[in-house]
Amino acid sequence: MAQRIEVYAGTAGHSVWFSQDLGEHFVHPNSHSGLYLEARTWCFSSHPQNLNELYAGTDMGIFVWQESTARWKFLESPMTDIWALSQDPTDPDIIFAGARPAQMFRSKNAGKSWEPIQIEGLATFSEINMGPTRFTQILFDPVDDATIWATVEIGGIFQSTDRGNTWHAKINGLESIDVHGIWITQKDSGEKIIYATTNRGLHRSLNNGTSWEFVLLDSPWQYTRAITGQVNAPSTIWLCNGNGPPGDTGKLLKSEDYGYSWSEVILPKPLKSTPWCIATHPSDPGLIFICSNLGQVFKSSDQGLHWIKLPHEFGELRALHWRTTNYEDNRPSHSITVRSLPKNLSLSS
């Protein structure tokens, strides 16, 4: 088996796009690939122990892409609109899914069956926006993988310390319960630092979520979206900051001191909307992708020192992901390539 990097862009209305050349070209599966061409794709999940499969959460439910067949397979479930997915780091068959309206389900057999997870205090409807709430992220704690965090828009932050069996709200001190994302890092001293992003700004917790403090950014806007860390450098954190959803401008911010100070990353082109997603992977800490809400994608191959803007511009982007996959190099590939597309795929511009 040989390996290659594949990049995935999830759109709000044009399903999933694929790239096998680090984003220089993207191709679009046609309807015969198993996923409706105009599906809304909100999230992805993959696992280093299973290089054959990629899970996608959409407004039609959960689909799994299988490299061996180059097809999307629909997974029957009680859910119809999936906004967050996460796999147990110790077992790729254990999957947590967060839906809209806000409900959580768990599968212990790679999506063959699902069980509802009861979360006390989880609201499925918000009077603030007069609409359903939704999960925005489910994250296994990198310091203690028995702990799981879940963020809800508009519903707060929830924590489980028993691998997802029971949950408790962790919202004390938040300026807003419109929560978009969460990230955890740890100093060499053992101090654990947690960050949460909201529509009203960034928050920090130094006591495992018992309370939160507001972190004022040196920016004209406090609206924040995705947040993640540098895989090989715990002190380095990346943060998406902009002037709202979708916004018409924004900043990619970087901290090299565990989030206590932030500097703007200068990108080669101005952002035309709020930066929305950050994609990293432990197989190559130097490779980072970010996207804006309205379709720009940027790439760095040297841990964020230099950036290029990728040629393709999408419509609305809601998810960005990359991973290393296996393929057999002694036979025609069933996966997507720019030069030789399989029969079930068509090249789109």
334 has a pLDDT exceeding 50: no
- Using the predicted structure, report yes or no on whether residue 115 has a pLDDT greater than 90: yes
Neighbours of 236 (CB within 10 A): 20
Instruction: Of 133, 129, 43, give the one whose Cα is nearest residue 83.
Output: 43
Alpha helices of the chain — where are they, by DSSP H? none
Hunting for tokens 């828009």 — which residue is that?
A: 153
Query: Does 302 have pLDDT greater than 90?
Result: yes
Please compute the mean of the pLDDT values over residues 214-235 and round it to a whole number. 96
With beta carbons less than 8 A apart as the criterion, state whether 203 and 212 touch: yes
Contact yes or no for 202/217 (Cβ under 8 A):
yes
Beta-bridge partners for 8:
18, 321
> Looking at 28-37, 128-137, 311-320, 331-340, which range is the least confident one?
331-340
Task: Collect all residues with Cβ–Cβ distance below 8 Å to 209 and sequence separation of at least 6.
Answer: 149, 157, 159, 170, 194
CATH superfamily of 2-346: YVTN repeat-like/Quinoprotein amine dehydrogenase (2.130.10.10)
Residue 344 confidence (pLDDT): 38
Q: Which neighbouring-strand residues pair with 86?
A: 96
Taking residues 73-77, report their average pLDDT. 96
For residues 183 and 195, give the distance between their C-alpha atoms in angstroms, rounded to a whole number: 5
- The 3-state secondary structure of 213-276 reads EEECCCCCCCEEEEEEEECCEEEEEEEEEECCCCCCCEEEEEECCCCCCCEEECCCCCCCCCEE
The answer to whether residues 219 and 253 touch, using CB atoms and an 8 Å cutoff, is yes
Give SS3 for 118: coil
Beta bridge partners of 98: 84, 104
pLDDT tens column, 251-284: 999 999 999 999 999 999 999 999 999 999 999 9
CA 122 from centroid of its chain's CA atoms: 21
* CB 227, CB 236: distance < 8 Å: no
Distance CA 71, CA 196 (A): 35
Q: Which helix (H) or strand (E) holds 156?
A: strand 156-160
* Share above pLDDT 90 across residues of the chain, in percent, rounded to a whole number: 87
Task: Provide mean pLDDT across the span 157-185.
Answer: 98
CA-based nearest residue to 9, from 344, 248, 259, 290: 290
How far apart CA 45 and CA 95 sit, in angstroms, is: 9
